[in-house]
């Protein structure tokens, strides 16, 4: 069984650039959540999407946006990158009615 997949695995950007991260949930999972994990810290909630609608948003600036597609895959966009955006970005999916989340391997973003 394929788990949650994310692409790319690593990414290097410079300040001010824009980035798009992609996530494919486990088959049958309709909910996708995005987390930012800075080195040495626990994951911080960014967004949750369910059935293509935003169901939750964490304390992140408007530079962060996301969307979910009809096939339940999702994209996370970050505009005007800052050095502090360097982190591991995790995507997690879950089944309808369950809050157990299955995490992908993450995308390591480095902003120079």
The tokens describing 107, both together, are: 């995308």
The tokens describing 54, both together, are: 């935003």
Q: Is 105 left (phi over 0), alpha (psi -120 to 50) or beta?
A: alpha
104 binds another protein, rule: CB under 8 A: yes
Tell me how far, at minimum, the Cβ of 16 lies from another protein, in Å: 26
User: Of 46, 49, 105, nearest to 78 (Cα)?
Assistant: 46
Of 26, 81, 90, 109, the one binding another protein by CB under 8 A = 90
Calpha distance 57→1 (Å, rounded): 29
Of 36, 43, 66, 87, the one binding another protein by CB under 8 A = 43
108 binds another protein, rule: CB under 8 A: yes
- Binding-site residue total for another protein (CB under 8 A)? 21
Calpha distance 35→42 (Å, rounded): 9
25 binds another protein, rule: CB under 8 A: no
Of 13, 45, 60, 73, the one binding another protein by CB under 8 A = 45
> Contact letters (x/-) for another protein, 70-89, by CB under 8 A?
------------------x-
């Amino acid at each position: 069984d394929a788990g949650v997949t994310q692409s790319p695995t690593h990414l290097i950007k410079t300040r001010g650039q824009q980035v798009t991260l992609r996530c494919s949930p486990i088959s049958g999972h309709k909910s996708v959540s995005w987390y930012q994990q800075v080195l040495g810290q626990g994951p911080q909630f960014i967004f949750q999407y369910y059935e293509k609608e935003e169901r939750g948003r964490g304390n992140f600036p408007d530079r962060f946006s996301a969307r979910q597609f009809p096939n339940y895959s999702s994209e996370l966009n970050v505009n005007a990158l800052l050095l502090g955006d360097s982190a591991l970005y995790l995507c997690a999916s879950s089944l309808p009615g369950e809050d157990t989340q299955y995490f992908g391997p993450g995308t390591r973003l480095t902003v120079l």
